Amino acid sequence: MSGIGEAFARCAAERRAAFIPFLMAGDPDLSATAGQLAAAAAGGADIIELGVPFSDPIADGPVNQRAAMRALASGTRLSGILELIARHRDQLGVPIVLFTYYNPIYARGVDRFAEQAAASGVDGVLCVDLPPEESRRELLPALRERGVDSICLLAPTSTKDRIALAAGAATGFIYYVSRTGTTGERASLPGDLIRDLKRLRRRLDLPLAVGFGISTPEQVAALGAVADGVVVGSALVRLVEQMGDDPELPARLEQRIRELAAPLHRRASGLRAAR
């Protein structure tokens, strides 16, 4: 079982969903990212998504776009991100998923990327602009050969055939985009999201995590009752944007992650007490 599989299995044994924060690598610079990763792990992250900054982040909303631009401006590149993970992965004790676009992978070379990602301790890769039909040609086999999970996206617009295709291609977990559009905080969840998650979960063997637009403990609680994992990104990236290189950022980030993850742990405690 992969590190990601173990994380979901542990959460399932605790009768709760996994909490998965997203951070942009290199925002405001890579040295700051090391502290952010440690804060995320200390705050209760079960898996961490680490964004690879890209100049045309079509899946991201304004908050994450600005973070990517700051990271690129600070000189952050894929090589530096992999080196950072290699230095800190064992200390964190939390699986790392790279959230990336295909261009940085293609520029490096698929086999070289897969080899270096595995050697650095990357547990999974979510390539948001590479559909399963394309990933099955090179990227997915290269990752599987080296024991790195390949996460696939599904969305409210996904057809039955698309769901089956993604489920057959993915390892680790399926990432469900909660709404059409880009990343970013939303005041409320789509009215049919809970129903859609329940239906989709019955069709999958892999864990199902949901993200995009989730930003409050109340939203985390609602989705944690029906999904296997909950992803929060823009709300945390916005905190990094607001605080920048403030030395208090790691402590504030840890506190915010702890607050967001708390409903999952409370629900698990309540379920155990009711047994």
- What digits encode the pLDDT tens for the residues 4-27? 999 999 999 999 999 999 999 999
Q: Is the dihedral of CA 260, 80, 139, 120 positive or negative?
A: negative
Mean residue pLDDT of the chain comes to 92
**Active-site annotation holds for 6:** no
pLDDT reported for residue 188: 59
**Active-site annotation holds for 90:** no
Among the residue ranges 83-87, 129-133, 179-183, the one predicted with the least confidence is 179-183
pLDDT reported for residue 208: 98
Catalytic residue chosen out of the listed positions 27, 46, 56, 60: 60
Under the banding of pLDDT at 50, 70 and 90, the label for residue 58 is confident
249 CB-near residues (< 8 Å, 6+ apart): 32, 35, 36, 39, 239, 240, 243
Report the candidate in 195, 186, 183, 187 with the shortest Cα–Cα distance to residue 223: 195
Tell whether the model's pLDDT for residue 185 goes beyond 50.
no
Tell me what percent of the residues of the chain surpass a pLDDT of 90: 83
pLDDT reported for residue 184: 46
CATH architecture of 3-269: Alpha-Beta Barrel (3.20)
Under the banding of pLDDT at 50, 70 and 90, the label for residue 125 is very high
Q: What is the DSSP letter of 28?
A: S
Catalytic residue chosen out of the listed positions 27, 49, 185, 196: 49
Across residues 157-174, what is the average pLDDT?
94
How much is the pTM? Answer: 0.93
pLDDT reported for residue 189: 72
